[in-house]
Amino acid sequence: MVELAELARAAGAEVCATVVQERNRPHPATLVGSGKVAEAAEVASAASATTLISNRDLSPRQLRNLADATKLKVIDRTQLILDIFASRARTREAQLQVELAQLTYLLPRLVGARANLSRTGGGIGTRGPGETQLEVDRRRLRLRLGRLQHDIEAVRSDRQTQRGARQGLPSAVLVGYTNAGKSTLMNALTGADVLAKDALFATLDPTARLLKIPDAGEVILSDTVGFVHDLPHQLVAAFRATLEEVTLADVLVHVVDAASPRMQEQIEAVEAVLRELGAGEQPRITVMNKCDLAPGGEGLRVSARTGQGLDDLRAAIAGALGRGHVRVHVVLPYGPLLDLVHRRGRVLSERYVEAGVELEVECPPTLAARLERAAGSHPTDR
């Protein structure tokens, strides 16, 4: 409920009251019992509230019944999050994805909202006016859905091309609860200029930058959309292209807001979303951010604001990526490959000989294979 209040504020609402009911099973018609519905209506009227927000997603029927019973505008958690995303979407890709999620959410509810109309003209073989309108609406929405999917697919293949262009470089992706400081950390590590602010879901678009780690070469670091509890599945599906970065990463950097009183819950929410994305087993570095605000605590403590601990974080990323590296011993002719070795690998020893440079290098397997092709070599540690 605390998270719901934060989400409501992020959408521009002011929270005047909270009503809670514990039930074994949601009431099929109204989610909570009729007494609770009446109480909510009373509390709302006393506070001059205009909107009722349900922390559980509502069926079309529950939505209609609650609106009728309370005379309030009723929205559920998914709709609230979709609203926030819609207000934050700036780029075309983000806008397309949010619209897709909204339509996916709307389509079944449109049927519900018009169901009473479709009954009015009932009778076999005849169509009521409501039914006709409903079908027009549905057809329009389905066409729009198809168009959106097509456009998103196009953006997506662009992204794959970009990914192809940087192949060979290992990748790290910043993940974490919304507002944990991912974008600030991204900026601090790479000198990027990503929007970072005290707002839920400030970032909707993934950004990738080159991160140079001394003695360990280069890494692609990506920033992405923040998580909350049960990120609506319509959003996860619509943001599939964006979130794919997460499942393809060599290492995930889980950024935790160490100053949050709900830190543990937030960690668990992120873990749950990662599992849903199929990234639950991905190699992981957990970073306690905002340690300038939170004294004590365990783990890798950093502050994206003051720069504290960033060297340790770079080293941890290098270490995590190094685990998958192989060691090769090669004699390379002078040329551009030498430069590449220094940029992408970790040079352990280097000796100038007549045929070129004799090197002992730790590097990604893809680069190792290339080096072996370029020179007579002896892999020493597979």
Ligand X SMILES: Nc1nc2c(ncn2[C@@H]2O[C@H](COP(=O)(O)OP(=O)(O)OP(=O)(O)O)[C@@H](O)[C@H]2O)c(=O)[nH]1
CB of 127 to ligand X, least distance (A): 47
Q: Which of 137, 151, 276, 292 binds ligand X (CB under 6 A)?
A: 292
| 26 burial type by CB count under 10 A (0-12 exposed, 13-18 middle, 19+ buried) | middle
Provide the mask over 183-222, with x wherever binding to Mg ion is found by CB under 5 A and - wherever it is not. Answer: x------------------xx-------------------
Provide the mask over 214-243, with x wherever binding to ligand X is found by CB under 6 A and - wherever it is not. Answer: ------------x-----------------
Q: Does 79 bind ligand X (CB under 6 A)?
A: no
CB of 203 to Mg ion, least distance (A): 3
Please give the residues from 8 up to 27 whose contact with Mg ion meets the rule CB under 5 A: none
Question: How many angstroms separate the most distant Cα atoms in the chain?
Answer: 93
Q: Does 200 bind ligand X (CB under 6 A)?
A: yes
Question: To 5 degrees, how large is the angle CA 238–CA 241–CA 245?
Answer: 130
- Residue 291: helix, strand or coil by DSSP? coil
Q: Does 159 bind ligand X (CB under 6 A)?
A: no
- Residue 170: helix, strand or coil by DSSP? coil
Half-sphere exposure of 215 (CA within 13 A, CB side): 7
- Residue 70: helix, strand or coil by DSSP? helix
Q: Does 181 bind ligand X (CB under 6 A)?
A: yes
Q: Which residues of 345-371 are buried (b: 16+ CB within 10 A; e: fewer)?
A: bbbeeeeeeeebbebbbbbbeebbebb
CB of 225 to ligand X, least distance (A): 6
Strands across the sheet containing 326-332: 346-353, 356-363, 326-332, 377-381
Number of residues that bind ligand X (CB under 6 A): 24
Q: Does 203 bind ligand X (CB under 6 A)?
A: yes
Q: Does 276 bind ligand X (CB under 6 A)?
A: no
Q: Which of 290, 314, 325, 344 binds ligand X (CB under 6 A)?
A: 290
Binding footprint of Mg ion on the chain (CB under 5 A): 182-183, 202-203
Binding footprint of ligand X on the chain (CB under 6 A): 176, 178-184, 196-203, 226, 289-290, 292-293, 303-305
